Amino acid sequence: MQSAFTFALIAVLTLPACHRLSSDEAKVVGTWQWVGMDAISKITYSRDHRVAECLLRGEAYEGECAPKDIAHGRWWIQGDQVIYKIEDGSGSEEVKFPLEWFLDGGAMPPKGPSFKRLK
């Protein structure tokens, strides 16, 4: 009985450490918008390292994301890159953004698309 109590206590005390984020990871968590030449991508990075992405093109460019259009995957930080990969079974490539874009609430890249925090 004592060992079961000890195991339960250890499990309760160590569980919160599983979702502890680094300071850089905490800055990434949220919803971001990337605006390209002919599309907008809305990407939500969650605390549990899940990612949800919606790509709006054409007539949907100004609209909202329909649930069927949202792709899900995982994200992580590697060196100076924030990387995510969609888990849809199609073997999608890893998408990489410079970590520095996330650090000040979203910085406009010197050349290329805009990138900003939505929430």
Domain edges within the chain:
21-117
CA distance 82 to 46: 13
Q: Would the pTM count as exceeding 0.75? A: no
Say if CB 53 and CB 41 are below 8 A apart.
Answer: yes
Rounded CA gap, 85 and 92, in Å?
A: 7
How does the average pLDDT of the chain come out, rounded? 77
Asked if 105 and 117 touch (Cβ cutoff 8 Å), the reply is yes
Write down the architecture of domain 21-117 according to CATH.
Answer: Beta Barrel (2.40)
For the segment 37-59, what is each residue's pLDDT rounded down to a tens digit?
A: 788 888 999 999 999 998 887 65
Radius of gyration, alpha carbons of the chain = 18
46, 55 in Cβ contact below 8 A?
no
